[in-house]
Amino acid sequence: MARDKKPLQLGRTVPVPVSSKDAVLDTVPNPHADTDYFVRFTAPEFTTLCPITGQPDFAHFVIDYCPGKSLMESKSFKLFLSSFRNEASFHEDCTLTIGKRIVAAIKPKYLRIAGFWYPRGGIPIDVFWQTGRPPKDVWPPDLDVEPYRGRG
């Protein structure tokens, strides 16, 4: 969902959206649209619900993108992620939904999302998605997230 000439959520009190479908990802102009570079958002405490049991699921997200004309505004992104707390979806669906919503909002030159999910039923599930290849001469940073090891 795009915001059409309404004020940004930044700088004012805004409740967490009831659902991710209601959440708005605000954008701001990229002051360096002529330069290729990476932006990283990390969300180490993401929560959503298991669609079968209703129990909470937890993930650590790393999102890297090379912006085009727009940047993603971070407060709206935080509210968007928070809107998943009362929704139920499988890890794969949730990860790709987040990635595709970002792409629709900011139309980056490249995006990579990594969802490191904590174990469900004893099995951690990690989900990765990207749009094409990163621009030439811009390196995607390492993810730097260790795979789940439990207590060991």
Q: What is the pLDDT of residue 140?
A: 84
Q: What is the pLDDT of residue 152?
A: 55
Domain for residue 136, yes or no?
no
Give the count of domains, the chain. Answer: 1
Q: Where are the alpha helices (H) located in 22-62, listed in sequence order?
A: none
The answer to whether the CB of 17 falls within 8 A of the CB of 83 is yes
In a domain, 149, yes or no: no
SS3 of 80-110: HHHHHHHCECCHHHHHHHHHHHHHHHHCCCE
Q: Which residue has the higher pLDDT, 65 or 142?
A: 65
Residue at 88 is within a domain: yes
Q: Which residues, including other chains, have CB under 8 Å from residue 5's CB and lie 6 or more apart?
A: none
For residue 86, give the nearest of 121, 61, 54 by alpha carbon.
Answer: 54
How much is the average pLDDT of 56-78? 96
Closest to 106 (Cα-Cα) out of 143, 141, 80 = 80
Residue 75 in any domain: the answer is yes
For residue 19, what pLDDT is reported? 92
Q: Which residues pair with 6 in a beta bridge?
A: none
pLDDT bracket for residue 3 (50, 70, 90): very low
What are the catalytic residues? 50, 57
In a domain, residue 70? The reply is yes
* End-to-end CA separation in angstroms for the chain: 43
Give the pTM.
0.90
Q: What is the pLDDT of residue 92?
A: 97
Q: What is the pLDDT of residue 13?
A: 85
* 95-138 pLDDT per residue, tens: 999 999 999 999 999 999 999 999 888 888 999 999 999 999 99
Residue range(s) defining the domain that contains residue 84: 38-128
CATH number of residue 43's parent domain: 3.30.1130.10
Q: Which of 9-13, 69-73, 89-93, 103-107 has the lowest mean pLDDT?
A: 9-13
Q: Is residue 23 part of a domain?
A: no
Residue 42 lies in a domain: yes
Q: What is the mean pLDDT of residues 83-102?
A: 96
Q: Characterize the bridge pairing of strands 70-72 and 110-117.
A: unpaired
Is-contact 67 33, C-beta < 8 A? yes
Residue 1 lies in a domain: no
Query: What burial class does residue 15 get, using C-beta atoms within 10 Å of its C-beta: 0-12 exposed, 13-18 middle, 19+ buried?
Result: exposed
Q: What is the pLDDT of residue 4?
A: 52
